[in-house]
Amino acid sequence: MSSPISTPFSAESTTADVIAGVDLTGRRTIVTGGASGIGVETARALASAGAEVTLAVRNTAAGDETAEDIIATTGNKQVYVAPLDLADRTSIAAFVAAWDGPLHILINNAGIMASPLMRTPERWEMQFATNHLGHFGLATGLHRALAAAGGARIVSVSSSAHLRSPVVFEDIHFLERDYEPWAAYGQSKTANVLFAVEASKRWAADGITANALHPGGIRTNLQRYVSDQELDRMRRAAGSSGVNWKTPEQGAATSVLVATSPLLDGVGGRYFEDCNEAAPNQPGTPRGVAPYALDPVAAQRLWDVSVETLAA
């Protein structure tokens, strides 16, 4: 294994810090969930460096407002909005069909966390369907556009919550086992890392790399299903003081770094946190990457299962 990627940046670094000196003129980018939380600051940073940015969102009114704001703050008029519901195969297919030309950077950022049990019409568990299957369908649908870019990057926004669960292949959709919101979230976030591992392997000949990351803890709409008390309890249990939230600009920094830094040229299949490649997790600690999330056998299996699931 080659040496871990280390950068001059840290947990405190912002999108402005990591994008400084990067020129994305002529690069075409997509940010899913780009109208809320860290997606907004990810999109703003890409636009500030001259990229064309498409906000792929299910709430297009919020998307339009965000696009206007990004155009006003960056002066870059190439900020667009396109409808995308990741839990709906028809919506993904329509988004893919409407995409024309190369795609240089795909940021799979949208997500839901710790929701009560919800299912798609196919009976897929909603966190897995949204966070993994939707992004899998999107990326595979856009494969030709990514290959056409030459050196395209995919960014898989995962979470330290991947430490809560591997992908449980025996019962991914909680049809047999009791539903537990955090186990379902953790499973979906492990899937995000495994996707990066397998996509980098499968698409190496196309010059496509994919990496995953944990953005840090940021107060956003993501916590909509979690009470303040539960969040505090979890953060204390994880050994943090409960007050070390990142700003959205700090939270988006690792995504922007992974999407644009020359330090990651040709690098794929890895997991980052606080703007650096993460070390292996030490059991009982909340940092680092679980070995099961980087397991190439599980990555290949998940890919095959995802293809089968979407084709059914």
Ligand X SMILES: NC(=O)c1ccc[n+]([C@@H]2O[C@H](COP(=O)([O-])OP(=O)(O)OC[C@H]3O[C@@H](n4cnc5c(N)ncnc54)[C@H](OP(=O)(O)O)[C@@H]3O)[C@@H](O)[C@H]2O)c1
Residues 159-198 that bind ligand X (CB under 6 A): 159
Residues 10-39 that bind ligand X (CB under 6 A): 32-33, 35-39
Residues 116-155 that bind ligand X (CB under 6 A): 130
Q: Judged by CB, which is closer to ligand X: 25, or 240?
A: 240
Is 185 known to be catalytic?
A: yes
In angstroms, the CA 90 to CA 100 distance is 18
Helix (H, G, I), strand (E, B) or coil at 280: strand
Using CB under 6 A, which of 47, 49, 218, 264 touches ligand X? Answer: 218
Task: Look at the alpha carbons of 68, 70, 73, 76 in this order and tell me if their dihedral is positive or negative.
Answer: negative
Residues 237-296 that bind ligand X (CB under 6 A): none
Cα separations in angstroms, 45 against 19, 80, 267, 272: 7, 15, 21, 18
- On whether the CB atoms of residues 155 and 255 are closer than 8 A, the answer is yes
Q: Judged by CB, which is closer to ligand X: 98, or 204?
A: 98
Look at residues 43, 144, 138, 155 and name the one whose alpha carbon lies nearest to residue 102.
144
Strands 271-273, 52-57: pairing is unpaired
Contact pattern from residue 53 through residue 72 relative to ligand X, giving x for each residue in contact according to CB under 6 A and a dash for the rest: ----xxx-------------
Q: Which residues of 69-89 are buried (b: 16+ CB within 10 A; e: fewer)?
A: ebbeebebeebebbebbbbbb
Q: Judged by CB, which is closer to ligand X: 74, or 131?
A: 131
Stretch of 107-115, 257-265, 266-274, 275-283 contacting ligand X, by CB under 6 A:
107-115
Using CB under 6 A, which of 137, 186, 217, 268 touches ligand X? Answer: 217
Helix (H, G, I), strand (E, B) or coil at 253: helix
Closest residue to ligand X in the complex (CB) = 37
- Catalytic residue from among 179, 185, 271, 292: 185
Q: Judged by CB, which is closer to ligand X: 87, or 191?
A: 87
Q: Judged by CB, which is closer to ligand X: 52, or 85?
A: 85
Residues 6+ apart with CB under 8 A from 140: 307
H-only helix segments in 142-239? 143-149, 181-202, 228-237
- Does residue 81 belong to the site contacting ligand X (CB under 6 A)? no
- Does residue 87 belong to the site contacting ligand X (CB under 6 A)? yes
Name the site residues for ligand X (rule: CB under 6 A): 32-33, 35-39, 57-59, 84-87, 109-113, 130, 157, 159, 214-215, 217-218, 220-222
Active site residues per annotation: 185
